[in-house]
Amino acid sequence: MTYSIALAGKGGTGKTTTAGMLVKYLVEKGKTPVLAVDADANANLNEVLGIDSGETLGDAREDMKTGVATGMTKDVYMEMKLQQAVVESSGFDLIVMGRPEGAGCYCAANTLLTQYLEKLIDNYSYLVVDNEAGMEHISRLTTNNIDVLLVVSDATRRGLQAAHRIVELTKALKLNISRKVVMVNRAKEGQSDALDEALGQYDLDFIGTVPEDSEVQQFDLEGRPTIELPRENGAVKAAYRIFDEIIQ
């Protein structure tokens, strides 16, 4: 069985950086192979992981609408495109969902992609999905259960309110998620009391904080893959303690 972790959160919380740290954690712990899925419309998980992105599945959906080569069925075409979209790396692979650009219905293409994604996912021990705030991507991605939803918030009341709304949205979508947890990223010193007060307003499974870190910020500014952050980095160590709580 593939153990699946999906990340969500409002923009600017460091969700994608956290997803990269999670992939780093899984590889270092020998929990491989890992499939990382970038389901964010603003796809940049590849930059965090330090690899080039391949063709997106959004491109495949678009191409299928305009026609498939003579002598090739649509299901064979989609399976081929899915295989081409997988970018291989050491201990993990990456696939970018992308988004369709044209108008019209993508139902048939989405159905075929879901079918072949489920087959692909079965080849991996762990699945890490980097989502945008809306959770519809998860419901389209696979009918498999999600083991952990990790919602990333910043240390603000608005961030925690967004985290609460995301958790509520999963209930409205009736997604089958075993555990929903919230972490606070980029926490500054002296914020603990205000953070505790804000957390008390929402019914959230709070799992921990990751401190604001100048080295993480420097990596981001320089465009360096944050997966290369040293193990002794304070933010990495804090994130790993959180991952220890949710990874089997």
What order do you get walking across the sheet with 87-88 strand by strand? 87-88, 92-96, 34-39, 126-131, 3-8, 146-154, 177-187, 206-211
The pTM of the full predicted model, rounded to 2 decimals, is: 0.89
The pLDDT value recorded for residue 96 is: 87
Q: Tokens standing for 180?
A: 């929903």
**Inter-residue contact 48 to 77 (CB < 8 Å):** no
More confidently predicted of 46 and 82: 46
Residue 184 neighbours by CB distance under 10 Å: 26
The pLDDT value recorded for residue 67 is: 66
Distance CA 197, CA 207 (A): 16
The pLDDT value recorded for residue 99 is: 67
Distance CA 234, CA 102 (A): 44
User: What's the average model confidence in pLDDT over 62-81?
Assistant: 76
* pLDDT tens sequence across 3-13: 999 999 888 89
CATH of 3-246 among 3.40.50.720, 3.40.50.620, 3.90.1170.50, 3.40.50.300 = 3.40.50.300
Domain boundaries, the chain: 3-246
Nearest residue to 46 via CA among 85, 81, 94: 94
For residue 139, what is the DSSP state? H
The pLDDT value recorded for residue 143 is: 37
Pairing of β 92-96 and β 206-211: unpaired
* pLDDT tens sequence across 24-42: 999 999 999 999 988 877 7
Q: Tokens standing for 17?
A: 């950086």
User: What's the average model confidence in pLDDT over 110-120?
Assistant: 72
Side chain identity at residue 44, one-letter code: N
- Please report where in the chains the tokens 């650009």 appear, as a residue: 101
The pLDDT value recorded for residue 199 is: 80
